[in-house]
Amino acid sequence: MRSRAETDDRLARDAHRPRVIHTGQALVDLVIEVADLPARGQNLMADSVAEYAGGSVTVLLAAARLGAECLHAGAIGAGPYGDLIREALDADGIAASAPPVTTQDTGVCVVLIEPSAERTFVTTLGAEREITVESLASADVQPGDLVCVTGYSLAVAQTREPLLAWLRTLPEDAVVVLDPGAAFAELPADVRDTMLARTDVWTGNAEEATDLLAARSVSVEASKAGASKAGASKAEASAREIVGQARALSPLLRAGAVTIVRDGAAGCAVHAHGESTYVPGFPQTPVDTNGAGDTHTGALLAGIADGATWVDACRRANAAAAIKVTRRGPTTAPTADEVEEFLRGK
């Protein structure tokens, strides 16, 4: 039984525990499984179709299931799709801080999934783009909170302008987490630089890192990680590449920033506190990779909110993503118990 002092200490820690707050787009994923992508102008019969809450919801569900307190600060519409989003958030105890957008419904992302588990996206715009400085401010961000931003918010002026204006109002100690997405490297240079200057954590895949470093004309120094012998394997080559990318990205961000670069089943690299570390993945036979990166991000931030080191949080995030790709749908992130059981078997 805990003493009163131990209980008071526990309550004090919980009172200051960072929240995971997402500002991005909560969309409904219309997931369609196909044997192959149709040729232009042709028709193809789907193998299956299903609707899921997706986008920023996937990150928050993963974080909540691994124990984080989560909040959705983006816009949610009024209609069947908005209702689906709210039901998914409510089911995992995640609040939405902004009032509903009553003039339209939430948009849809059409996801075509091939037998290889590769996916192709077509996204519509809806109520999720109706954010303002005031609606974002409803999150009441506190020092230490982990505030998630997606590069897709910056790709459209309707969301970019209020988001950047609101970010300038945050406490200096709020931790801004950027998931760049494929759109980030192609943004105007001034938009990219403004966002990077306020970014404390970069978490993206190797392709996104490659694109930004090329846009900024930054060369990557090959890492020696995994290079213990001549003729390095593909996995060793991947480890060296992403470790080098994580290190090269760091100077582009806010002073002291942490960078994470993912490479699917190969795992991820993290550069934190001046040190670069390769964290191996857990290869699985995938059935659906949609939402794997978002699951990784949510699990990573849940670990950080709980006080884990960046390396330990990355290992748990690798495990969560590995479990996710064996399940269909973006809302199938594992629980903390499932992640622990998975890691015990490794």
Q: Is 147 a residue whose pLDDT tops 60?
A: yes
Contact assessment for residue 84 and residue 53, using Cβ atoms and an 8 Å cutoff: yes
Query: Model's pTM, two decimal places?
Result: 0.89
- The string of pLDDT tens digits covering residues 60-70 is 999 999 999 99
Distance CA 101, CA 166 (A): 19
pLDDT for the residue 220: 84
User: What pairs with residue 279 in β-bridges?
Assistant: 268
Average pLDDT over residues 5-32: 74
Written as one letter, the residue type at 232 is A
In what side-by-side order are the strands of the sheet with 48-55? Answer: 48-55, 26-33, 108-113, 119-123
Contact assessment for residue 119 and residue 69, using Cβ atoms and an 8 Å cutoff: no
Q: Is 228 a residue whose pLDDT tops 70?
A: no
- The string of pLDDT tens digits covering residues 101-135 is 999 999 999 999 999 888 899 999 999 999 999 99
Contact assessment for residue 22 and residue 59, using Cβ atoms and an 8 Å cutoff: yes
- The string of pLDDT tens digits covering residues 278-320 is 999 999 999 888 899 999 999 999 999 999 999 999 999 999 9
- The string of pLDDT tens digits covering residues 178-201 is 999 999 999 999 999 999 999 999
Q: Is 259 a residue whose pLDDT tops 90?
A: yes
- For residues 129-168, one letter each, b for 16 or more C-beta atoms within 10 angstroms of the residue's C-beta and e for the rest, the string is bbbbeebbbebebeeebbbbbbbbbbbeeebbebbbebbe
Cα angle for residues 339, 341, 345 (degrees, 5° grid): 115
Contact assessment for residue 243 and residue 268, using Cβ atoms and an 8 Å cutoff: no
